[in-house]
Amino acid sequence: MQLKSAQLLCAWEFTTPVLTSITTLASTAASEDKSTNELSQVTKIENLRSNAKLLLSNDPERTTNMLSGAVVALAMIPEAVGFSFVAGISPITGLWTTVILGFMASAFGGRPGIMSGASGAVAVVIAPLVAKFGGEYLPACAILAGIIQCVAGKLKLGKWIRLVPHPVMLGFVNGLAIVMTKAQLSHFTGLGSTAATSTMVGLTTLSMIFMKVIPKVTKAVPASLLTILLTTLVSKVFSLPAKTLMDVAGAETFKGGLSVLPTLALPSVPFNVATLKIIFPFAATMATVGLIESLLTLQLVDGLIDTGKRGSTSKEARGQGIGNIFSGLIGGMGGCALIGQSLINVEAGGTGRLSGITMACTLGAGLIAFAPLLGQIPLAALVGIMLLVCQQTFAWSSLRLFGKIPNLDALIIILVSYITVVEDLAIAVVSGTIVSALSFAWKQSTMVFAKDEGVDENGWRVFKLNGPIFFGSTQTFESQFDMKSIKEDEIVLDFSGSRVYDHSAIQSINMISEKFGENGKKVHLRKLSPDCQLLLANIHEGGVPPYESIERDENDPAYTPVEDSEKFAIA
């Protein structure tokens, strides 16, 4: 059975029941017991009632969110069209992907204000799939990617985005600003005549001037919306040879009417193992790239919108997943959050979910009822806005950091920026994070040392350990002791100034103790946390260890090696 997606986009009276049903299902699946489920349902219903009141009220916040969403809907068109060409599919497919994904991700995502749609990062991933196997596999790939993202949200894997260091974030936004700028500058080539090129340059400059001047005159209407209207008016009044959105996407995309509506249906590919083998590698990559870009966008928007609450990475992963699933069901290409459009939205005052929902509904309604008018908007009006967004996206303050921060951190900023430009976002972020992690591990590995405290009242030689002991520092730790130069028969290793972090450290402690034992010395381990003692005891499985634990402090914190102490409990 096929349903016209216009039922979701145009019939507002059905919006609340649909949202209530889906959110109730999601809440039920996530609940662990009946009471938690009931509380979650009440919360969802209250949120829906609050959103309904906002729609029906004359609240200025509602107006601002709706206007900002309408502006972003226009800014979405050239991007979605361009990404469709990259993926090798029809522009109308990319536009409807933006409508459906934008609506679902805004309704169920983890950070109000984020705009989602067909994206370049995803387009690059799926282009080989379309080229080799055909476009019919693309919707199935989008659905599978959405399922993977929903699972990632359920497992709370989005929290790992916290491990992305600040230099990587700076490099990412700088590289992204360069990529977006290159995409906008490409619109100035191949215009065919000097007059067309001059018009493109002139209208782009004019739109940028409008963006700077309008906020100083009035803030009642978003500057970006007035910029688009005024630039279009100038183009028409003076009959300028301006390149329009219709020129970019073709007349077929902007013909309008019900014929452009997509249908809601399962992909027309065989549901078997062979199909899964084809689409799974692309879907897994698409899900990963989409989540990385979406969660980085969430972090950036968190920094711009100061509401006292951080966005939920798990909910954002789920929202993107739901959006990609529905995108596949209407034959779309899938996508993710878009940083450029999200910044336009936030700058225009769009800080609520209503802005993203309005963007999707405005774009959908425009493709049906106002397509010919939308097609007449000069491309230069949107290019000018995007160029200013690029300028605002670039972290200019990072340039002043060079010479004031460690050289390696500066190198990471440059590395991530470069890889973002020449490769893609996911590789850049992963590479930068790995380099940062290895750098941190190396620095920590050199910080462990054993201070000789001399002989105590018992005649024991005491070594006070300092610094972290983990896989990277075990060699440094082991090199601290010269067995032959120590004359005392009993040795104390004092761990009060150190921390043991992994199994490599446990093995290293055991090995050092055994070496002392081979040299006729007895080792006393002082202030070693209870969980480490359990792991050491487990190594010997009831045998006689080459050490004894002294001054055991049961109040000492268990700081990581044992996640389940009962598993390692001593009989």
Q: pLDDT digit string (tens) for 10-40?
A: 333 333 333 343 344 344 434 444 444 555 5
Other Cβ atoms closer than 10 A to 2 = 9
Of 197-211, 213-227, 422-436, 531-545, minimum mean pLDDT range? 531-545
Look at residue 181 and tell me whether its pLDDT is greater than 90: no
Q: Give the mean pLDDT of 126-141.
A: 92
- Look at residues 350, 100, 337 and name the one whose alpha carbon lies nearest to residue 225: 350
Residue recorded with tokens 């206007």: 67
Domains of the chain: 58-393 (no CATH), 446-568 (3.30.750.24)
Helix axes 407-422, 166-185, angle to 10 degrees: 30
Average pLDDT, the chain: 83
User: Helix, strand or coil for residue 451?
Assistant: strand
Q: How confident is the model at residue 58 (pLDDT cuts 50, 70, 90)?
A: low
User: Helix, strand or coil for residue 491?
Assistant: strand
Question: Is the model more confident about 278 or about 40?
Answer: 278
Instruction: Determine phi and psi for 83, rounding to 5 degrees.
Output: -70, -30
Look at residue 84 and tell me whether its pLDDT is greater than 50: yes
Question: What's the CA gap between 521 and 57, in Å, rounded?
Answer: 81
Q: pLDDT digit string (tens) for 347-393?
A: 888 889 999 999 999 999 999 998 888 899 999 998 998 888 888 88
Q: How confident is the model at residue 220 (pLDDT cuts 50, 70, 90)?
A: confident
- Residue 62's Cβ-side half-sphere holds a number of Cα atoms within 13 Å equal to 10
- Look at residues 204, 399, 80, 413 and name the one whose alpha carbon lies nearest to residue 421: 413
Question: What's the CA gap between 232 and 235, in Å, rounded?
Answer: 5
**Dihedral class, residue 560 (left if φ above 0, else alpha if ψ from -120 to 50, else beta):** left
Other Cβ atoms closer than 10 A to 251 = 11
Helix axes 273-304, 313-329, angle to 10 degrees: 130
Look at residue 303 and tell me whether its pLDDT is greater than 90: no
Look at residue 426 and tell me whether its pLDDT is greater than 80: no
Rounded percentage of the chain residues whose pLDDT exceeds 70? 85
Question: Is the model more confident about 395 or about 48?
Answer: 395
- Look at residues 412, 480, 493 and name the one whose alpha carbon lies nearest to residue 447: 480
Q: Which residue type does 3 have? A: L
Q: pLDDT digit string (tens) for 144-172?
A: 999 999 999 999 988 888 888 889 989 98
Q: Give the mean pLDDT of 394-415.
A: 90
- Look at residues 148, 166, 167 and name the one whose alpha carbon lies nearest to residue 157: 148
pLDDT score recorded for residue 553:
56
Instruction: Determine phi and psi for 536, rounding to 5 degrees.
Output: -65, -45
pLDDT score recorded for residue 49:
59
Other Cβ atoms closer than 10 A to 417 = 25
Q: Give the mean pLDDT of 327-343.
A: 92
Look at residue 420 and tell me whether its pLDDT is greater than 50: yes
Q: pLDDT digit string (tens) for 472-522?
A: 999 999 999 888 888 899 999 998 888 888 888 888 988 898 889 888 889
Question: What's the CA gap between 225 and 213, in Å, rounded?
Answer: 13
Look at residue 206 and tell me whether its pLDDT is greater than 90: yes
pLDDT score recorded for residue 145:
96
Question: Is the model more confident about 533 or about 129?
Answer: 129
Is residue 113 within 8 Å of residue 345, measured between CB atoms? yes
Q: Give the mean pLDDT of 115-131.
A: 88
